[in-house]
Amino acid sequence: MLESAEDSRFSARRPVREGNRVEVLVDGEEALPAMSATIAGARSHVHIAGWHSSPEFRLTREPGAPTLRELLGETAERVPVRLLLWAGPPVPAFQHPADRSIGWHDMTMRVEGPIVADVAEHFRRCWTEVAEESLPEPKVQDPAGTSNVQFVRTVPEKTHAFAPRGEFTIVDTYLRALRSAKRLVYLENQFLWSPEVAEILIGKLKNPPADDFRVVLVLPRKPSNGADTTRGQLGRLLDADDDGRRLLATTLTSHDGDNETPVYVHAKLGIVDDEWMTVGSANLNEHSLFNDSEANLVTDDVELIRDTRLKLWAEHLQRSKSEVDGDPAKVVDELWRPIAEKDRPNRLTLLPSVSRRAAGYRARCADCSSTADQAGSPASRRCAERNRCW
């Protein structure tokens, strides 16, 4: 185990585990078959924690592929299967209408090695409280690779007995990494509401640490909620950039002939200087960073991080890895921006309705709609009793 120094990009509040094998799986095409095979091959147990699951969903498109219900049912005949799902998800929230086609971009991190015990211990503690069933402490796996990995999480205050004051190590590592950025901040996320994150990026854009400093954002064209809040924060970032062309906000679109389909960016990825990377469940908003239960993994494996970035950039820019394998600032200026700004169909496009005028859209609490300067208002106080409202 490595100790995280106060000036490290890792959170100082969680252990960093050495000797892990890490694989980043991009989109369901890679992630879902891997999940299916792993569940089917389980030898001792299957533990799943998440926001929502669809029992009739098939993880692969192979003929005769089982539904999730069938897969878990068959597996449960051999080993214990436990599902820990959020109690109150509005089930239709991500079930898009049949007449509205939409693509989906997501990301998953697969790990083997000592870090798995930290993830398993988090599940064990949550399960014990919710299901009132005791589970044995997880065994620490032998080293399986060379990557340092840290498990970080958001545990809201007064939610779990094992962390009554909460734990906020996801926002801790994000802020540490962003403050340290010297050349590149690359973020893929569903939302960009967090004032903590925005303030650091604004400072970096106003006083760039280097001439080749760039911030590249990949966001959904129309997030499931809070579009004005994201636009407001992006407007502030553009204002801070002041036509310096260091900031680029983009979205993804798929094309089939003359048909254009938006790709919903559901990924939660952060990369800084090819030296820090996080993948997990946390959006860059106050709910994920302070109020909801979230889990991320963080690594400083520079080879893995760089390879992940190049893989994503090749996919988004529709170029080979070798074509995007250059100085990041040069690739952003000479490939990202020209491709995004072109009118002809591309997978990558500029995020629409974003301008410096949008800075007038002040960030609002998604629950009570109060802005930061209205903190302490009756609506904000009532909201703060349930959530972290400003």
Helices and strands (DSSP H and E) totals, the chain: 12, 15
pLDDT over 60 at 11, yes or no: yes
- pTM for this structure? 0.90
Tokens 């079930």 map to which residue?
A: 95
| Backbone phi, psi, residue 26, to 5° | -100, 125
Strand segments, DSSP code E, in 196-285 are 214-218, 247-256, 259-265, 269-272, 276-280
To 10 degrees, the CA torsion angle through 381, 382, 386, 390?
-30
pLDDT over 60 at 376, yes or no: no
Decide if domain 16-29+105-354 falls under CATH 3.30.870.10. yes
pLDDT over 60 at 335, yes or no: yes
Q: pLDDT-based confidence at 6, cuts 50/70/90?
A: low
Domain boundaries, the chain: 16-29+105-354
Average pLDDT, the chain: 89
Token pair belonging to 212 = 């080749």
Q: Angle at which helices 27-40 and 68-76 pack, to 10 degrees?
A: 20
Tokens 């398993």 map to which residue?
A: 120
What is the mean pLDDT of the segment spanning 18-38? Answer: 97
Q: pLDDT-based confidence at 244, cuts 50/70/90?
A: very high
Distance in angstroms (rounded) separating the CA atoms of residues 316 and 253: 9
Q: Nearest to residue 332, comparing CAs of 207, 181, 216, 237?
A: 216
| 37 burial via Cβ count (<10 Å: 0-12, 13-18, 19+) | exposed
**329 touches 190 (CB < 8 A):** no
User: What are the distances in angstroms from CA 304 to CA 2, 111, 287, 344?
Assistant: 19, 12, 29, 33
pLDDT over 90 at 380, yes or no: no
Distance, C-alpha 246 to centroid of its chain: 22
pLDDT at 88: 56
Distance in angstroms (rounded) separating the CA atoms of residues 291 and 200: 21
pLDDT at 360: 52
Strand pairing report for 259-265 and 103-105: parallel
Distance in angstroms (rounded) separating the CA atoms of residues 236 and 359: 5
The DSSP secondary structure of 278-312, one letter per residue, reads EEES--BSHIIIIIS-EEEEEE--HHHHHHHHHHH
What is the mean pLDDT of the segment spanning 38-56? Answer: 95
Q: pLDDT-based confidence at 110, cuts 50/70/90?
A: very high
Within 13 A of 179's CA, how many CA atoms are on the CB side? 12
Q: pLDDT of 114-153, one tens digit each?
A: 999 999 999 999 999 999 999 999 999 999 999 999 999 9
Distance in angstroms (rounded) separating the CA atoms of residues 186 and 189: 10
Tokens 């209408």 map to which residue?
A: 97
